[in-house]
Structure 1
Amino acid sequence: MALRKISDLKPVFTGANVTEWQSPAGMRYRYERDRCAVGQEMGPGMEAYDWHVLSHNDLTHAKRKVFELINLDEF
């Protein structure tokens, strides 16, 4: 089941400089403001990430990238 809209993407953790989401398939995605990047978990529970640098360092662009990664990679 693909996500139909960005508003379906709800964070599972929000900190000062970090926001994490979990896809319907169970993969975690992490935005770190200090890195200006979104990390895609390499495997469930591994806590190792493949990082994707953002063109703009803000939460809106991070959510768009996570939404794109979930729909491209998992569905």
Structure 2
Amino acid sequence: PLASADPTLFVAAGWQGHGFMRAPAIGEAVAEGVLASRSGIPFDDPESPWIGAFDPKRFDGDEEFEIAEGMSLSTRADDV
């Protein structure tokens, strides 16, 4: 868990090599979130249209993630 969160801090990180290609869309999404927070919608408001997808507190620590290779999570041809 986060020790304390600064409601004025927005971070868009962890995009690896493909982040450069996705930067315009991510930048737009983060900008919308920043503007929403400045218009009176609190950073952690569950009614915020975008925060749930990016909120680091959405994980409780017990999640399991499948490790996938490559750029797609689709089934490999030899597994079909």
TM-score (norm 1): 0.30
TM-score (norm 2): 0.29
Which has more strand, going by share of residues?
Answer: 1
Which has more helix, going by share of residues?
Answer: 2
